[in-house]
Amino acid sequence: MVFDHVAFVFFPDLAFLRAPGRLVWPVFAALMARQLAQGYPPEKYVKRLLPFALLAQPFYALAFGFPLLFPLNVLFALLSAALLRAGWGPVAVVLSLLSESPLGLLLVELLARRKAVLAALAHGAWMGLSGWAPAYALLGSGAVLLAWALAEGARPGRRTSWWALYAFYPGHLALLAAVKGLL
């Protein structure tokens, strides 16, 4: 993800530099979907994701040169999946559509329902509609299937603090925005 963001800010015309980072999004979606499929309370995701999504948004806009409120950063796409599961369907759909990954809600929900092939097709379609070449969209679809297979087969291991992982997102965006501003 960081690789994608650095490439987008400093080498926006070189899609092949961004591609490896684009393959990380399905991993986040698959990990969240697995937790939701196993009964993790979506309200906990909402409480944890919302502050970090809000904190990241101004840095996201500054780093990438977007208007402040559109598109919303990828944490809002994950948040939309949690909101859907928490019973906030219409809000979830609108939030997802306003995010940088408008089909992110669909991706997480299909994976949580263990419909990995449909999720892979949805993600590939989103990449294609976003202007990625068919080869990259196919790679993105494959990344969804691989991420889901790995998430499903994962065993509990060493845990990292959830807030440290969430805080990394706005932190690296703030650093990117600052470096971009200095250059």
Q: What is the pLDDT of residue 160?
A: 66
pLDDT at 132 > cutoff 90: no
Torsion angle in degrees (nearest 10) through CA of 118, 120, 126, 131? -140
Q: Residue 74 sits in which domain range?
A: 2-182
pLDDT recorded at residue 20: 80
Q: How far apart are CA 51 and CA 16, in angstroms?
A: 32
Mean pLDDT of 61-83: 95
| Number of domains within the chain | 1
Residue 12: predicted pLDDT: 84
At residue 119, the pLDDT reads 97
